[in-house]
């Protein structure tokens, strides 16, 4: 059976554009045209899958601290209990990724490559605002089809900086921020306990408590907290800094002796064999 295509769909399929590398979304226009004809063609558009993460960051006295949980989910399934969500960009710039894990991973790799090329061409260390500009322009070009929410933190010659970048390319710069499905709980702790020029230990505890609040308030976040401390001297990654969820110990034996449960009634039925068939199989 041949399904006639509408006039809106034909130009989208007939135009051939050369591939320039990076992410490719050449079927988006085709899919949108098919969705308009879905009732006639009995097509069901794909359902967006729910993702979960809690990432956070703040600026303290000497630099930036980034934090993230370690659970990766696929809808209602925990796909990975030890996922690394803090990504290397340069020696003094790191970022946390939320949303689609593959998009966040490869966006940060592409950003790291571009910043290293920029550093070699300019012969100087890249600035954090440069990383923010490159990432927001990249995401805006694809109009939200790259499902990555990113927190960029780093230190350059102008001091510590913290940016939050959303999938459509919009950005914010604040002294503290949180993204992901557990961001509401993390932001609540930041707004209650954050203060400028915090000491290192106090700032680490606040980031840890904020991500932990997101873990216990959101089913998509879990396992524990990873931290990354960035100063003028460099970055220090604390993988597996805390374990928010530990397996409990069995306090008693749950084996009950025979006869502990009373039998309320007993019925015995005798079954009669009606027919029996034996088949011989040739196994040679």
pLDDT digits (tens, 9 = 90+) for 175-232: 999 999 999 999 999 999 999 999 999 999 999 999 999 999 988 898 999 999 999 9
Task: Say which of 2, 51, 53, 231 is annotated catalytic.
Answer: 53
Helices (H), the chain: 9-14, 28-36, 38-41, 101-122, 128-141, 183-193, 200-217
Measured between alpha carbons, how far apart are the two ends of the chain, in Å?
47
Q: Among 16-30, 34-48, 118-132, which is the least confidently predicted range?
A: 16-30
53 belongs to the catalytic site: yes
Q: What is the pTM of this model?
A: 0.74
In the chain, domain spans: 54-243
Helices (H), 37-99: 38-41
Q: What percent of the chain has pLDDT over 70?
A: 88
Question: Are the beta carbons of 150 and 164 closer than 8 angstroms?
Answer: yes
Question: Are the beta carbons of 96 and 161 closer than 8 angstroms?
Answer: no
Q: How far is CA 158 from the centre of its chain?
A: 30
pLDDT of residue 57 exceeding 90:
yes
Task: Report in angstroms the alpha-carbon separations of 137 from 18, 143, 145, 246.
Answer: 21, 10, 13, 41
For domain 54-243, say whether CATH 3.60.20.10 is its number. Answer: yes
In eight-state DSSP terms, residue 216 is: H
Whole-number Å distance between alpha carbons of 145 and 175? 28
Whole-number Å distance between alpha carbons of 166 and 107? 13
Whole-number Å distance between alpha carbons of 61 and 155? 12
What band does 11 get if pLDDT is binned at 50, 70 and 90? very low
Whole-number Å distance between alpha carbons of 69 and 247? 17
Task: Report in angstroms the alpha-carbon separations of 149 from 96, 107, 137, 143.
Answer: 8, 10, 14, 13
């Amino acid at each position: 059976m041949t399904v006639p295509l509408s006039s809106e769909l034909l130009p989208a399929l007939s135009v051939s554009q050369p591939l320039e590398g990076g992410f490719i979304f050449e079927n988006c226009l085709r899919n949108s045209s098919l969705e308009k004809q879905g009732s006639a063609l009995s097509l069901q558009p794909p359902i967006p899958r729910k993702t979960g993460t809690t990432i956070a960051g703040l600026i303290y006295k000497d630099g930036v601290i980034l934090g993230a949980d370690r659970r990766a989910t696929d809808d209602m399934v925990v796909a990975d209990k030890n996922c690394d969500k803090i990504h290397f960009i340069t020696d003094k710039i790191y970022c946390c990724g939320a949303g689609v894990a593959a998009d966040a991973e490869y966006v940060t790799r592409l950003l790291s490559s571009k910043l290293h090329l920029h550093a070699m061409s300019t012969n100087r260390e890249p600035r954090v605002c440069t990383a923010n500009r490159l990432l927001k322009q990249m995401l805006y070009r694809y109009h939200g089809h790259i499902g990555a929410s990113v927190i960029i933190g780093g230190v350059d010659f102008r001091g510590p900086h913290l940016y939050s970048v959303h999938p459509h390319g919009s950005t914010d710069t604040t002294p503290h921020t949180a993204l992901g499905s557990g961001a509401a709980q993390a932001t609540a702790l930041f707004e209650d306990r954050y203060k400028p020029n915090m000491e290192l230990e106090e700032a680490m505890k606040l980031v840890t408590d904020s991500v932990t609040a997101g873990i216990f308030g959101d089913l998509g976040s879990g396992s524990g907290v990873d931290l990354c401390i960035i100063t003028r001297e460099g970055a220090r990654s604390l993988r597996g800094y805390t374990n928010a969820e530990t397996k409990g110990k069995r306090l008693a034996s749950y084996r009950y002796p025979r006869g502990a449960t009373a039998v309320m009634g007993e019925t015995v039925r005798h079954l009669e064999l009606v027919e029996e068939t034996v088949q011989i199989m040739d196994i040679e």
